[in-house]
Amino acid sequence: MSFRIREYHPGDTDAVLELWDKAKASGFEAVYGLAEVLASCEKDHAVVAVADNRIVGVAVARAAHEQGWIVFFSTIEHYRRQGIGSSLLAALETRMAPLGLTKLSILVPDSQEETGVLGRAGFVDRNHLSYFEREIPVSEKERTILADLGGRLLPGDLWPAIAGMQEEKEMLERRLVLPLSDAALAEKYGVEPPRSIVLFGPPGTGKTTFAKAVASRLHWPFVEVFPA
């Protein structure tokens, strides 16, 4: 079977989406989101494999200082083990070489069994490494809006830092925090997450402290409104 490797063109988006959908349908666990992949196709480096008048494979990467990161690499199953994957990786490396890269890396989920092409292309499995990530709860645009409102993000340890009042904390955890933190699970059990909550009592009884702790526990921004 003959195939050719060429650079990605803007008109290839539908083919990349098809490869993405096929990969996801086969159980592929993506490290990078689709939006990141498509952005790298347009702004970074991407090559595609063409066979039988269709795109059957793609490799997309971005450069970070002296290291290149492959954000998406996939070949249609029917076209695997025919040298397409290795050719895609080689073409990608050739196109990124002028950037002065010293390393080309890819993150592969443990569940992905089809990794032989990486070994054949000279990649080494650093199996002593683990991948960690944290989702940033507030975007830069949201931070600007939050600053205009006088709000802020609180440290993430305020909830466990509340001493005493264990009974009150358990009640708030069950009735407020859990339904809000996992709305899908709450809906499954017929629990409607609260839309508001009123804490009342004399000054100095911990109302604001609890409100801040709940915001911290949910990783939500905190906006304090004072009477005029």
- Per-residue pLDDT of 128-159, as tens digits, reads 777 776 776 777 778 788 888 888 888 888 88
Residue 164 has pLDDT above 90, yes or no: no
Beta sheet of 45-51, edge-to-edge order: 4-7, 45-51, 54-64, 67-75, 103-106
Which residues fall within 8 angstroms of residue 35, CB to CB, at 6 or more apart?
none
Domain boundaries for CATH 3.40.630.30 within the chain? 4-120
Domain boundaries for CATH 3.40.50.300 within the chain? 140-218
CATH class, range 4-120: alpha beta
Grade residue 111 by pLDDT with cuts at 50, 70 and 90.
Answer: low
Q: Which of 53, 168, 188, 151 is nearest to 179 (CA)?
A: 188
Grade residue 44 by pLDDT with cuts at 50, 70 and 90.
Answer: very high
Residue 50 has pLDDT above 90, yes or no: yes
What pLDDT was estimated at residue 187?
Answer: 84
Report pTM.
0.62
Q: Across residues 214-228, what is the average pLDDT?
A: 84
Residue 113 has pLDDT above 70, yes or no: no
Q: What are phi and psi of 46, to 5 degrees?
A: -150, 140
- CATH for 140-218 is 3.40.50.300
What pLDDT was estimated at residue 225?
Answer: 83
What pLDDT was estimated at residue 154?
Answer: 82
